Amino acid sequence: MKAEIITIGTELLLGQIIDSNSQWIGQRLAEIGVNLYYKATVGDNKERVLDTLKNSINRSDIIITTGGLGPTQDDLTRECIGEALGLELIKDEELLMDIRDYFDKMGHEMADNNIKQAYLPEGAVAIDNPEGTAPGILINQDGKVIVAMPGVPIEMKAMMIETVLPYLKKKFSKGEVIKSRVIKTCGIGESSLEELITDILTEQTNPTIAPLASQGEVKLRLTAKANSEEEADRLINLKEAKLQERIGEYIYGYDDDNLEGVVAKLLWDQKLTIATAESCTGGLIGDRLTSIAGSSAYFERGIISYSNQAKMDLLKVKKSTLEKYGAVSSQTAKEMAKGVRNLSKTDIGLSTTGIAGPGGESLEKPVGLVYMAIADKDGVESYRYQFNGSRERVKYMTSQMILNLLRKRLLAKS
């Protein structure tokens, strides 16, 4: 069966609020195995609400709306649903009493406007609203289910959890479970990653595999359908094993993992301490490494050696190195990493130096050129990267790459 969500409200179109309702409903539907095919948003305009509803009822089996159930003139959902389905609105006296009770309980008098909320399309069932006045609407007509809920998230969520999800599960679920796992990779672009696993992507059926690129990483989402949680896990594990074999070196984590968290765990497990010497990243790596609760166990200090003077004073980068090779060079990166490790007496020293742009480039050293280095008890290694994009992007990509290089080095030594 096909489901869709319609969120109603001009404020959503103007971008005054973000549509978190449909995200939340989408997650819940996925969990009970209901396929969401479309989402639509429309303003508080009768013609367009009606047009959208008719289109949805025509093509889908489950239609869930939020918004437009309040007592004011621009709350149109109730009458549009009635009109779209050819159902008359009928006053429900019991419902009216409930609404009156709600106001009494709050010590307010019910406004006449609220009477409107006691009207339901013929044959509809009211959905109890434990958090507010506007009841929801549930209609089952010719095998199609139409659900209307208020736009206030706390009211909508209570209705979904207490009434709508149990109803849909009972009616549409065929004992089916849907589970997802997100595999996170770093150090390879989306298209190169896909080329490595073209055959696995092509043969995908269950679980399905969806690649998704974001800044500095590519995710693969595996989604399996099965008759039990165990079976879904088994299907995902099988597919993941195949992927591990092919692209294991790029996989750094799962689901809510981030690179700094994975690096933090490796440092904890290996009881290692770290210090950073940042030039072009300006403190971003320190910020990321200290974003993990308990980071003082591994993060000793960081030097943001922006000026050459700071590089010489604190990190003991040689003046001759800066003069001969420049601040943005493999040699300087290495001396910075060694320098901060010596200064801090940590197990690991890490450095970045580059041209974040937009200014500051030369013929041999374009914007986006970055050198990084990692020093440990076995010596120091440097890395050269050329990034493009904005200053912000160059900084972020640098932090992402050096954290990934560190992750691989820690893994290799564990």
Residues 370-389 that bind its own copies (CB under 8 A): 385-389
Peptide bond into 153 cis (omega under 30): no
Closest CB 316 distance from its own copies, rounded Å: 14
Instruction: Report the nearest approach of its own copies to the CB of residue 176 (Å).
Output: 15
Give the three-state DSSP class for 9. coil
DSSP assignment of 82-107 equals HHHHT--EEE-HHHHHHHHHHHHHHT
Q: Which is nearer to its own copies, 88 or 109 (CB)?
A: 109
Strand partners, 223: 180, 208
Question: What strand order describes the sheet that includes 251-254?
Answer: 208-214, 217-226, 177-185, 251-254
How far apart are CB 2 and its own copies at their closest, in Å? Answer: 9
Contact 275, 300 (CB under 8 A): yes
Q: Closer to its own copies by CB, 37 or 167: give it.
A: 37
Pick from 287, 318, 408, 409: which binds its own copies (CB under 8 A)?
Answer: 287
Residue 38 or 167: the one with the smaller Cβ distance to its own copies is: 38
Site for its own copies in 206-265 (CB under 8 A): 210-215, 221, 223
Smallest gap from Cβ 284 to its own copies, in A, equals 4
- Report whether 86 contacts 29 (CB < 8 A): no
How many chain residues touch its own copies (CB under 8 A)? 119
How far is Cα 343 from Cα 375, in angstroms, rounded to an integer?
A: 12
Instruction: Provide the mask over 91-130, with x wherever binding to its own copies is found by CB under 8 A and - wherever it is not.
Output: -----------x--xxxx--xxxx---------------x
Residue 76 within binding range of its own copies, rule CB under 8 A: no
C-alpha–C-alpha distance, residues 266 and 272, integer Å: 8
Q: What is the DSSP letter of 115?
A: G
Show contacts with its own copies in window 326-355 (CB under 8 A).
Answer: 343-344
The answer to whether residue 19 forms part of the interface with its own copies (CB under 8 A) is: yes
Stretch that binds its own copies, among 90-98, 168-176, 310-318, 373-381 (CB under 8 A): 310-318
Is 42 among the residues that bind its own copies (CB under 8 A)? yes
Cα-based distances in Å from 168 to 34, 61, 66, 386:
8, 11, 17, 52
Binding mask 172-211 for its own copies (x = CB under 8 A): --------x-x------xxxx-xx-----xx-------xx
Q: If DSSP codes are grouped into helix, strand and coil, which group holds residue 390? A: coil
